[in-house]
C-alpha cells in the first residue's frame, strides 16, 4: 500500500459532482499514410501491454474506516481495459468545434473510485481524417509534470511501437480491499512518521520563513513600481459557484518564436502567456461592462518537483500574479505582470524546503468533503472574497514528437480543472516545439461561444504584444506578425504561428 499525501488526498476530498478533480489531455493524431487497421483495437492492445509500467494506472483507492485519515493506494490486479479504453465516433461533419464540445462533456463526469482513476477515449470521424484521443486521470495521482512523465511511458518516440516487458498478474492476500485493522495500523504509523519529519524540519522552516519575508519586503514594490497583490482579489463573473457542465477551447502557437518575442520585449514565455490572458480577460469583461476597477488576479501553480523526480504524485504550490488589468498602457502592463510573476516565484524558491511538507490531520477527509459540499450547495463561493479570479498554468510537456500506437501526435492540448469561485482555467503545455493552450471553464459562467471569443482575444493580444518596442534599442527589433488563426477550425490549417519579417 502507498499513503496519499495531504495534498494528493485534498483533490479527492474537495471533489463533488459539480467539481470533478481530474486532469486530461486532448491529442490529435495522424495515422501513417495508407493505414488500414483498426486504431482503437491497436491502441487498446498497446495500453494493455504497458499499463503495468506505471503505478498511476494500476492502483486504486482504499479509504480509512470512518474517514479518520487519508486513504491509501493499493494495487488492482484486474484492470478492465474495455471499461478504461473506449471508442466514440463524431457525427458529420466532424469539426474541431465538435471535438472540443465532446471533450467538454466527457470531462464533466466523475471517475469511478472503485477502479483505477483513469479513462481513455479514441474519437474518430474527424473531417480531416485525423483521430482525436482524449485521456483523463485523477489529480490525486498526478500533477502536470507527472502527467508528462506518464506520457513517456505510454507513448513512443518513433512510429515503431516499442516492445516492453510483458505484464505479470500479481496475486495479493488482501483481495479486493484491505482489512479495517490493517488500514488503521497503517494510518497511525504513517501519521507518526509524518509528525517526526515535521519536527525535524522546524529549524529549516524558520530559516525559510525568514528568507521569504525578506524577499517579500524587497519585492513589495518591485523596481519601485506597484505593490504585490496581498489582499483579496476583486470580484468578477468568474468568481461563482459552478456546475459540472464544461466548455473547452484550444489554441496552438510556435514555442520558439513566442520565446524569442518574450526575450525581445523583456519577459519570458510565462510573461507572454500571462499578458495574453490579461488582455483577453480584461477586454472580455470590459465589453460587458463588468471589468473591476482593481486589477484582476491570476492564481498560478508553481512546481516544487526536482528536475529528476518522476514520481506519480503532486508537488505543487500556488502563487498570485497581478494581471495589471487596471493599466491601459500595454508596455507598462507587461512590465507589471513580469515583475509580479518573478516576485511570486522568488518567494516560492525561499519557501520550497517547507511548502511540500505533509501535515497529517485527524478527520481531514470528512472535514474537507463536508466543506466542499457546503461551498457548492450554499452558493457561498459567489459571496466570499476571492483569492484570485482566474487559474492560469504553464506546464512543461514532452520536448520531442511522440507517437501513439504508431500514429503521430500532432497536437497535445491540456484539459484542466475549474472550481467553485474560479470558473475559468487556462492551461498552456509545451509539446514538440509548440505551446498548446487549453481553456476549460464552467459552461454556466462561460458559454461555448464566449470560450471561443476568449481564444480569439488571446490571439489578438499576442498581435499587440508583437508591437512592443525591444528592450535593447540598439539591437534591430524584428516585426513579427501572426499569419494564421487558432487551430480550432480546422486544426490542419489553423495553427497560430508567428513569422519574422524584415
- Alpha-carbon distance of 106 to 332, in angstroms, equals 41
CB neighbourhood size of 449 (10 A): 9
- Alpha-carbon distance of 151 to 248, in angstroms, equals 22
- Alpha-carbon distance of 183 to 4, in angstroms, equals 13
- Integer angstrom CA distances of residue 361 from 7, 11, 179, 188, 309: 12, 15, 22, 11, 26
Give the H or E element holding residue 124: strand 118-124
Indicate the length of the chain as a whole number: 502
Whole-number CA gyration radius for the chain: 23
Q: Is 90 helix (H, G, I), strand (E, B) or coil?
A: coil
Contact 418, 440 (CB under 8 A): yes
- Integer angstrom CA distances of residue 469 from 22, 103, 278, 383: 41, 40, 19, 42
Catalytic residue, from 138, 139, 338, 420: name it: 139
Of 299, 308, 294, which is closest to residue 417 (Cα–Cα)? 299
Contact 451, 439 (CB under 8 A): yes
Of 55, 31, 56, 146, which is closest to residue 398 (Cα–Cα)? 146
Contacts of 213 (CB under 8 A, 6+ apart): none
Cα atoms found within 13 Å of the Cα of residue 466, Cβ hemisphere only: 19
Q: What share of the chain is helix, strand, coil (3-state, %, to 5)?
A: 40, 20, 40
Helix 255-265 vs helix 269-287: crossing angle, to nearest 10: 90
Cα-to-chain-centroid distance, residue 321:
17
Residue 139 bears catalytic tag: yes
> 436 exposed, middle or buried (CB, 10 Å; 0-12, 13-18, 19+)?
buried
DSSP single-letter state for residue 475: S
Q: What are the catalytic residues?
A: 139
Amino acid at each position: 500500500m502507498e499513503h496519499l499525501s495531504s495534498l494528493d488526498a485534498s483533490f479527492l476530498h474537495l471533489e463533488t459532482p459539480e467539481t470533478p478533480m481530474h486532469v486530461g489531455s486532448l491529442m490529435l493524431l495522424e495515422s501513417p499514410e495508407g493505414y488500414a487497421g483498426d486504431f482503437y483495437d491497436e491502441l487498446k492492445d498497446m495500453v494493455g501491454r504497458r499499463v503495468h509500467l506505471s503505478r498511476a494506472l494500476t492502483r486504486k483507492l482504499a479509504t480509512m474506516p470512518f474517514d479518520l485519515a487519508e486513504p491509501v493506494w493499493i494495487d488492482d490486479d484486474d484492470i478492465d481495459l474495455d471499461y478504461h479504453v473506449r471508442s466514440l465516433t463524431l457525427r458529420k461533419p466532424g469539426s474541431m468545434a465538435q471535438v472540443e464540445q465532446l471533450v467538454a462533456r466527457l470531462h464533466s463526469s466523475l471517475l469511478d473510485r472503485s477502479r483505477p482513476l483513469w479513462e481513455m477515449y479514441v474519437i474518430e470521424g474527424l473531417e480531416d481524417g485525423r483521430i482525436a484521443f482524449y485521456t483523463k486521470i485523477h489529480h490525486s495521482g498526478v500533477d502536470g509534470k507527472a502527467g508528462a512523465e506518464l506520457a513517456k511511458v505510454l507513448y513512443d518516440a518513433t512510429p515503431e511501437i516499442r516492445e516492453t516487458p510483458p505484464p505479470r498478474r500479481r496475486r495479493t492476500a488482501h483481495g479486493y480491499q484491505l482489512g479495517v485493522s490493517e488500514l488503521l495500523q497503517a494510518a497511525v504509523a504513517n501519521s507518526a512518521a509524518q509528525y517526526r519529519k515535521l519536527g525535524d524540519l522546524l529549524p529549516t522552516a524558520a530559516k525559510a520563513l525568514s528568507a521569504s519575508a525578506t524577499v517579500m519586503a524587497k519585492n513589495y514594490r518591485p523596481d519601485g513600481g506597484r505593490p504585490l497583490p496581498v489582499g483579496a482579489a476583486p470580484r468578477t463573473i468568474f468568481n461563482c459557484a459552478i456546475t459540472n457542465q464544461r466548455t473547452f477551447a484550444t489554441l496552438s502557437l510556435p514555442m520558439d518564436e513566442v520565446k524569442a518575442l518574450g526575450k525581445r520585449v523583456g519577459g519570458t514565455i510565462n510573461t507572454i502567456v500571462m499578458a495574453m490572458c490579461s488582455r483577453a480577460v480584461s477586454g472580455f469583461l470590459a465589453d460587458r461592462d463588468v471589468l473591476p476597477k482593481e486589477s484582476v488576479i491570476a492564481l498560478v501553480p508553481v512546481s516544487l518537483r526536482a528536475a529528476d523526480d518522476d514520481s506519480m504524485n503532486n508537488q505543487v504550490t500556488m502563487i498570485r500574479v497581478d494581471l495589471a488589468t487596471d493599466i491601459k498602457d500595454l508596455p507598462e502592463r507587461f512590465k507589471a505582470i513580469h515583475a509580479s510573476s518573478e516576485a511570486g516565484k522568488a518567494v516560492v524558491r525561499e519557501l520550497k524546503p517547507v511548502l511540500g511538507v505533509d501535515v497529517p490531520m485527524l478527520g481531514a477527509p470528512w472535514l474537507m468533503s463536508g466543506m466542499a459540499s457546503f461551498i457548492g450547495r450554499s452558493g457561498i463561493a459567489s459571496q466570499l472574497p476571492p483569492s484570485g479570479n482566474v487559474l492560469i498554468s504553464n506546464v512543461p510537456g514532452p520536448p520531442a514528437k511522440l507517437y501513439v500506437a504508431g500514429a503521430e501526435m500532432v497536437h497535445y492540448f491540456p484539459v484542466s480543472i475549474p472550481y467553485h469561485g474560479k470558473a475559468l482555467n487556462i492551461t498552456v503545455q509545451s509539446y514538440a516545439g509548440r505551446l498548446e493552450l487549453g481553456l476549460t471553464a464552467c459552461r454556466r459562467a462561460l458559454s461555448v461561444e464566449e470560450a471561443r471569443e476568449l481564444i480569439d482575444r488571446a490571439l489578438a493580444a499576442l498581435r499587440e504584444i508583437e508591437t512592443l518596442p525591444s528592450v535593447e534599442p540598439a539591437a534591430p527589433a524584428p516585426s513579427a506578425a501572426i499569419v494564421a488563426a487558432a487551430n480550432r477550425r480546422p486544426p490542419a490549417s489553423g495553427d497560430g504561428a508567428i513569422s519574422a519579417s524584415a
